[in-house]
Amino acid sequence: MIGINRVMRVLITSDFLLNSGWGLIGPIFAIFITKQIEGGDIAMVGFVAAVFWFTKSIFQPFIAHYLDRKKGEADDFKFLTRGFYVANLIPLGYFFATDIWHLFLLEFVRGVAMAFVLPSWMAIFTRHIEKGWEAFSWSIQNTVLGFAVGFAAAFGGVITTYLGFKMVFILVTLFGLISTTLLFRIKGYLIPQDHPALKIPPKELAF
């Protein structure tokens, strides 16, 4: 595809699979909390969501700052894949959750994991955008993301109706683990720490 290289195709495909899985949870998670969790009510639905977003938002800038100070993409890739693996095991925790504090803990862990994922994913994607195709590249990524979430949201309720919550959680984990494993196809294309492009000329270091 014009303007979309191998690294970007793998990242976009991985993101599509990830959000296809997590999108299944979107329309049914509030019902799961209120129907299946001890102490779960409408107020708790909001608090559970807040735990994830606050946790991710607090940790994310510090992790991004650390990654920006490290040369090469080895650390970005390590943070990306490890964060993905942890985040995608969280639905198995939902599988066994019975009390509201279980969900708070799970969402805290997922928030930390996604704080590792998002800066590293965006850093790698941004570095590999072909010059002159910036808007198109991000639009393709966002379009694919929209289709993934849209289709998953449409079918999440149907799957839950016929197969139950636990099957949805298993599918989310399965999609997520496939998504993460796919990322290893680009490991050899990432910028190594000693790449010439990362060497800063001495004059650039002068104050």
66 found inside a domain: yes
Considering the domain boundaries, does residue 6 fall inside one?
Answer: no
Q: What is the CATH number of the domain that holds 143?
A: 1.20.1250.20
Q: What is the pLDDT along the chain (207 residues), one digit of tens a residue?
A: 566 889 999 999 999 999 999 999 988 888 899 988 988 888 999 999 999 999 999 999 999 999 999 888 889 999 999 999 999 999 999 989 999 999 999 999 999 999 999 999 999 999 999 888 899 999 999 999 999 999 898 888 888 888 888 899 999 999 999 999 999 999 888 877 555 444 433 333 332
What is the number of structural domains in the chain?
Answer: 1
Residue 168 lies in a domain: yes
DSSP labels for the chain?
-TT--HHHHHHHHHHHHHHHHHHHHTTTHHHHHHHHSBT--HHHHHHHHHHHHHHHHHHHHHHHHHHHHS-SSHHHHHHHHHHHHHHHHHHHHHHH--BHHHHHHHHHHHHHHHHHHHHHHHHHHHHTSPTT-HHHHHHHHHHHHHHHHHHHHHHHHHHHHHH-HHHHHHHHHHHHHHHHHHGGGGGGGSPPTT-GGGPPPGGGG--
- Asked whether residue 21 is domain-assigned, the answer is no
Asked whether residue 95 is domain-assigned, the answer is yes
pTM of the model: 0.86
* 14 falls within a domain: no
With respect to residue 202, please indicate whether it lies within any of the assigned structural domains.
no
Structural domain containing residue 149? 28-187
Q: Is 203 inside any structural domain?
A: no
